[in-house]
A and B are shown apart, each in its own frame.
Chain A
Amino acid sequence: MIDNLPFIACAILVILGLYTLTFKRNLIKIVIGLNLVESGVNLFLITLGYKSNAVAPIYTMAAKEEMVLPTPQALTLTSIVIGLATTALILSFTILIYKHYKTIDASKVRRLRE
């Protein structure tokens, strides 16, 4: 049971994120919701490669101990960088929306539907 705690944490993060995305009307909160989902997925990737009592997978000068799996770490690193780019881009769109509409309430930002 205790080993599964990280997976439960991932699930909670993803579900919280999806809840925020569905029910919040503030654009900033929508971005936060996206980031919550992303953190959940990243945590999931890291957990896959985790091994208790193992060292970081750096071979140079390392003692012969058990190491955690390096691939998920590489994947997570890539995914964090991509997440940074998407967050930056989407926040800049939020700024532009605020400039044009003077609000970040999603129920009022709907000129397209008219």
Chain B
Amino acid sequence: MINEHLPALIIGIPLLAAFATPLISKINDKLRNIFVIGILGATLCLVISLAFNVFNNGIFVYVMGAKSPGLTLPSGYKMPVRIILEVDGMSIFMAIITSIVSLLGAIYSWAFMHKETGKDKYYTLLLILAAGMFGMEFTGDMFNFFVFLEITSIAACGLVGFRINRGESSEAAFKTMVMYTLGALFVLFAIGILYGEYDALNIATLASRIRYTMLDKIALGLLVTGLAMKAGAVPMHMWVPDAYAEAPAPITMILVANSQASLYGLFRVCFTLYGLTISTYTLGWIIIILGVLSMFIGVTMALIQKKIKRLMAYHAISQTGYMLLGVGVGLAVLSDANALNTYGLKAMEGGIFHIMNHAMYKGLLFLTAGAVIYATGKRNLNELGGLAHKMKFTAIFFIIGAAAIAGLPPFNGFASKLIIYESVYKFNPMLSVIAMLVSILTLASFVKVFQSAFLGPEIIEVKKEPKSMIFAMLCLSVIIIAFGLFPDIVVDKIVAPAANALVNSMQYIAAILGGA
């Protein structure tokens, strides 16, 4: 019984709980924290059980409001008329990331937000943000995707500007909101164009009808621009350092997952919606160039930053480039079966694996930065020093995160970057060389942070980091090391199904339209 309704429950439970949170806050603060963590924990369990279902039985379809949840085409109709949730390997992969990150964010927030006011609104927005991300990942309907995109935008901007006592927060939130809204409007415009041409909003139906006319090219351009804007790829990256630096640390971690959810939207559009009709070579190269630009500009800007979270935010842009590079190579060779099998699919696996790894180690790094700011109240690297004396755990976690982001073995960043280097080298050696160069610059930048923040004599007053913060960071570190030690298992079990789901867009369409 419950199995049939899993996708709807995963979106619905956090959404309903979000609006119950302010009421429970009235009773007791501690009860509210337990409630939020419990809800997100339950969602994680549901996501995992849905994941088993998807990996064993293939694509999971859920029709909202139909007599039976699997009924996509009611008698007499040739096209789906209801809102359909469609969960394939890629969607569930993203949902696993979202649920882990939001659960750990809530746990970390317990101590981190302890002294702040307005926590009921904070947790409400956090749950709405999580629900919106699940919605974006599960939906099989373009307009529905836009609605969830806007839900995450509004919740995310509310959280970026959460500290209204700082002018900088409002400034960052304003900038982010303009970029998010503009991106979402581009997406809506594109959806309008597609609807006007093909009279459908369902992704599978659209994909089966698309002809690639001039208007479709415009729509594709708008979709790629809008979604890349929200994913934070260069040259639409101006909001990323501001938003990531000003949001509370656990929110920054969830914002990273949010950017990745729009990255998922970008991949879904390129592969599923347009994958059947066009030679994707040009589109693939556009994505690759976006990726290389993001990698290089992100890391060079990071080298000159002095504020700890702003520096990490520029690295987040740079790492997004790796994902775009890996998946872009797969997209460029999509129509060439031979190249796809020899290195295209491998490159995509690398790019997709990097999405998960990035969410984990970047989350960990932002949490350590949050712990540093919590303990010292300072954001500028020049004012920090000698933190390793008091904050032993944070220092260790920082080393793990920094080694993972720089791609050192045995951490997870190494595993995914190695796959990307190897496969991209066969496509174009130059790209692989740039990717390695960026990795070295990343390492240099984090060595600088570690040296100036954690080493040296004790020069400032430091509080000890609380237990809930250590617990969240420990969970992420364990995941990072486990993925780094056993990358084969992860790639075979969850990454390969995700890459295959993107490549075989025919299956996605057939799940709705029945063998069309």
Interfacial residues, chain A to chain B (CB-CB below 8 A): 14, 21, 27, 30, 34, 37-38, 41, 44-45, 48, 71-72, 75, 78-79, 82, 85-86, 89-90, 93-94, 96-97, 99-101, 109-112
Contact = CB atoms under 8 A, between A and B. Distances in A.
27 contacts: A21-B178, A21-B182, A27-B174, A34-B178, A37-B182, A41-B192, A44-B189, A44-B192, A48-B195, A48-B196, A72-B192, A72-B195, A75-B143, A79-B146, A82-B154, A85-B150, A89-B158, A90-B177, A93-B170, A94-B174, A97-B167, A97-B170, A99-B167, A101-B171, A111-B171, A112-B168, A112-B172
A80 B460 CA distance: 51
A109 B171 contact: yes
A97 B178 CA distance: 14
A37 B188 CA distance: 11
A86 B167 contact: no
Interface in B135-180: 143, 146-147, 150, 153-154, 157-158, 161, 164, 166-168, 170-174, 177-178
Given A85-B150, A112-B168, 14 more contacts: A34-B185, A41-B188, A41-B192, A45-B195, A48-B192, A86-B150, A86-B177, A93-B161, A96-B167, A97-B174, A99-B167, A100-B167, A100-B170, A111-B167
Contacts of B120: none
Given A37-B182, A96-B167, A109-B171, A79 B246 contact: no
Contact of B154 (A14, A72, A89, A94): A89
Contacts, number: 88
Contact of A78 (B147, B171, B196): B147
A96 B170 contact: yes
Contacts of A101: 167, 171
Interface residues of B, number: 33
A100 to B, nearest CB: 3
Interface string B183-211: 00100110010011000010000000000
